[in-house]
């Protein structure tokens, strides 16, 4: 079973800045089977990135994913006010399809 | 338009049972694997269970294995989660969600989520 550790727990930045969120797996995630989701208060999550680096439909190109093996990164190039939310990574290579504990991106 | 509407949540005593339903529309339901994901109040996401499009394959998190059963009725486009022997730690919003197509290369990625239904286990 893969355990995902996200860092930092909370990231305080200002609009216009660049955000870098990390997701580290306890063992290699085969074929980059890793996704990123965004969740805002009172809403279900929203798919941003899958296969480590493929943007989902409708996701702005300021969001990008990278990484392989055990280390993955979600980058947001220029933060917009609507980007402040909680972000989760998920391994979907094999059951159980675990999520990381989340990174809260807050306005500084 | 894809729509997923959960129902069946509510207050139940420890040791009790509850069945959640998820009515799906806007896509060919039987062709897609589906999943349940939960979120305890103020906490992160926890994957609970998944089921193949045909219903022939099911998967569970260790925390619910032996207590929860996922099933589907493809003639009615409904996904179910039967929850038995409920515990206080099962208190959460339960989301029904749809996976990407099997031939997408990423068949266990959620692309649509319902709004969730709250399950509260308390005496």
pLDDT digits (tens, 9 = 90+) for A62-99: 999 999 999 999 999 999 999 999 999 999 988 889 99
Our CA dihedral for B46, B83, B35, B6, rounded to 10 degrees, sits at -100
pLDDT digits (tens, 9 = 90+) for A16-68: 999 999 999 999 998 789 999 999 999 999 999 999 999 999 999 999 999 99
Gyration radius of chain A's alpha carbons: 13
pLDDT score of B45: 97
- The answer to whether the Cβ–Cβ distance between A37 and B105 falls below 8 Å is no
Is the minimum CB–CB distance between A97 and chain B shorter than 8 Å? yes
- The answer to whether the Cβ–Cβ distance between B44 and A102 falls below 8 Å is yes
* CA dihedral for B41, B47, B53, B57, sign (positive or negative): negative
Q: Which two tokens stand for residue B64?
A: 């619910």
Which residues are A75's β-sheet partners?
A20, A64
Our CA dihedral for B34, B36, B37, B41, rounded to 10 degrees, sits at 150
Instruction: Give me the residue label for tokens 């319902």.
Output: B114
- The answer to whether the Cβ–Cβ distance between B47 and A90 falls below 8 Å is yes
Q: Which two tokens stand for residue B123?
A: 């005496």
Contact residues for A74 (Cβ-Cβ < 8 A; gap 6+): A19, A20, A21, A23, A36, A48, A49, A63, A64, A65, A87, A89
Asked whether the beta carbons of B53 and B32 are under 8 A apart, the reply is yes
- The answer to whether the Cβ–Cβ distance between A96 and B47 falls below 8 Å is yes
pLDDT score of B93: 98
Angle at B22 between CA B20 and CA B27, to 5 degrees: 165
pLDDT score of B18: 98
Contact residues for A58 (Cβ-Cβ < 8 A; gap 6+): none
pLDDT in tens, chain B (123 residues): 999 999 999 999 999 999 999 999 999 999 999 999 999 999 999 999 999 999 999 999 999 999 999 999 999 999 999 999 999 999 999 999 999 988 877 888 999 999 999 999 999
pLDDT score of A31: 78
Buried b (16+ CB within 10 A) or exposed e, B6-27: bebbeebeeeeebebbbbbeeb
Distance, in angstroms, between B17 CA and closest chain A CA? 23
């Amino acid at each position: 079973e893969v355990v995902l550790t996200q860092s930092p727990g909370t990231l305080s930045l200002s609009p216009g800045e660049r955000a870098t969120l990390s997701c580290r797996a306890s063992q290699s995630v085969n074929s980059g089977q890793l996704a990123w989701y965004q969740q805002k208060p009172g809403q279900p999550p929203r798919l941003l990135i899958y296969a480590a680096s493929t943007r989902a439909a409708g996701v702005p190109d300021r969001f990008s994913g990278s990484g392989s093996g055990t280390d993955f990164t979600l980058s947001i190039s220029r933060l917009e006010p609507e980007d402040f939310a909680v972000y989760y990574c998920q391994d979907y290579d094999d059951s159980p399809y675990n999520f990381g504990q989340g990174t809260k991106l807050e306005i500084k | 338009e894809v729509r997923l509407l959960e129902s069946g949540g509510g207050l139940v005593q420890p040791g009790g049972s509850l069945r959640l339903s998820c009515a799906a529309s806007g896509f060919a339901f039987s062709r897609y694997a589906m999943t349940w994901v939960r979120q305890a109040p103020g906490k992160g996401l926890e994957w609970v269970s998944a089921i193949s499009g045909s219903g022939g394959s099911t998967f569970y998190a260790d925390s619910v294995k032996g207590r929860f059963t996922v099933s589907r009725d493809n003639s009615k486009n409904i996904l179910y989660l039967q929850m038995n022997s409920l515990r206080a730690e099962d208190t959460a919003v339960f989301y029904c969600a749809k996976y990407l197509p099997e031939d997408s290369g990423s068949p266990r990625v959620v692309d649509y989520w319902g709004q969730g239904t709250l399950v509260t286990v308390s005496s």
